[in-house]
Chains A and B, each alone.
Chain A
């Protein structure tokens, strides 16, 4: 009986077994094909990846920590184009924090926003502006806090804003827009300015590769205006003003004033002393621009202005400026005519 069954089932079962193994064989074949094609595409893909990173088409992996932070924050971060959208909505909600003056929440939101949309200069600008200008001032003026804390918070937020900009520069080393935020931050005369550093930053900016040429000149002039505010850098300021003056495109009123002041500084070594008419072309223009400069500087008291008072006085005599309109009236005025 046993033999009979054996005979009956013997042949098919041998074949059947090979059939049973098939799923495994199939899986192994598929895995092998995937591995082989994986090797084949590895270098092409790596090159394409590098090319796309170069073109900024895909986000660079800055460091693992940033990535992990981001991925823990939201699953959605996996889908590329969602990130800027989330960033935009967080920006809307951060503006509510601004109106509620909830600076801690605003700060943490902007830290996330820039992770979500790291190449967008707008968020670096807005975030740093909130920290440097708004959060600092609001803390300084918060009368519920003790004086020491207020001063501490004021500095702290300005520093945080500066660090925020630094991070932006680190993530976007090619972006002059973000780099310019740092220069602007140091040149901001209302928030712990550092004109020396600002001048440095502007000079660096003027040398960045992808800056439009008109901006390059502008940055150089801004570097000059910042240098002019650093008491020890009068010689550097003059040298730069002299150098920029050589290009007729640079001859804007502020630069002309800076050159005039620079060559009037008693300690400066002057390369070539230009006459007033050389610089300003007409006495009227000289008077107009120097007057603007003088009045502005009196308001800010942030810059030494050698020779300006003397020149204005002289021009007011020569041009017969009516007494009420003079910066330096030679007659006593009725109180109502004192210039503001």
Chain B
């Protein structure tokens, strides 16, 4: 379908994805995802952000092949995501992962490893390596029934990595994890990124997204409303920032005077201007709500 030359560097390609559900009682349809397109290049960390119920998880499920698109398509490394092949390179960490409570973490990893066709010594080594990576060696033979949420999240991450996938899909990777655990997970993501693993994560913990993501998409009520690199998105377009090294107070004074003399420009703040993704997100959400009201009236 697509020329392989074009898909070479594309890890995930979502094209005009539409997913609608029928509500069971009324003959109404509900558009969970509405014409969403996105591309994630190989080696990139992409964050999809949006409020609850905005279609983040649905988009992810479509990429994972857990649901089939009503319209549009999803491809993973060039393979249609509804095909099983597409999943050989995907590691997935669901939101609040629950595993089989009767298994220990080592057994869980062995189970998922075997599902990916890893056997024998290779599997044992991989399991040990991953347990070390997520710092669970001390609990390896305890059943998951007794694990804390943070520990389960780490088992989930280890499980997602078992077949050394080239694409890691993380659904709220730090939800319910304490700040230290959260930081560990963030470090791990950065480490994997440095190894060339493509990461697709969705979260509403925006600061974290800001810390790790190369590119971000904002999804609202099923529609992609903003997308770009972090720099692009967080840029305050009507402001300009100089970061001057070794500026003398006189130079700063001169600059301030220069601006004061200009009719239009004014100094908002001197120092480092900071916007945050959070602000951007809330602004966008408000704007959308406003637009919607406008349409109705």
Q: Which residues of A are in contact with B by a Cβ distance under 8 Å?
A: 1, 8-9, 11-13, 15-16, 19-20
Contacts and interface: CB of A to CB of B under 8 A. Distances in A.
Contacts of A12: 18, 20, 31, 34-35, 70-71
Interface string B217-261: 000000000000000000000000000000000000000000000
Interface string B13-35: 00000101010000001010011
Nearest to B223: A8
10 contacts: A1-B295, A12-B20, A12-B31, A12-B34, A15-B18, A15-B70, A15-B71, A19-B20, A20-B22, A20-B29
Q: Is the interface of B mostly helix, strand, loop or mixed?
A: strand
B177 to A, nearest CB: 37
Contacts of B18: 12, 15-16
Nearest to A4: B295
Interface residues of B, number: 10
A45 B184 CA distance: 64
Pick the most buried of B20, B22, B31, B295: most chain A CB atoms within 10 A of its CB. Answer: B20
Nearest to B295: A1
A8 B34 CA distance: 9
Pick the most buried of A9, A12, A16, A20: most chain B CB atoms within 10 A of its CB. Answer: A12
Contacts of B34: 12
A171 to B, nearest CB: 51
A12 B29 CA distance: 11
A20 B29 CA distance: 9
Contacts of B22: 20
Interface in B20-73: 20, 22, 29, 31, 34-35, 70-71
Nearest to A11: B71
Given A12-B70, A16-B29, 11 more contacts: A1-B295, A8-B35, A11-B71, A12-B18, A12-B20, A12-B34, A13-B20, A13-B29, A15-B18, A16-B18, A20-B29
Contacts of B31: 9, 12
B22 to A, nearest CB: 5
Contacts of A8: 35
Contacts of B70: 12, 15-16, 19
A13 B21 CA distance: 11
A16 B18 CA distance: 9
A8 B20 CA distance: 14
B289 to A, nearest CB: 18
A19 B69 CA distance: 10
Contacts of A1: 295
Closest 7 CB pairs of A and B: A12-B18, A12-B71, A16-B20, A16-B70, A15-B71, A20-B22, A19-B70
A15 B31 CA distance: 13
A294 B42 CA distance: 114
A9 B34 CA distance: 9
A20 B31 CA distance: 13
A7 B35 CA distance: 12
Contacts of A16: 18, 20, 29, 70-71
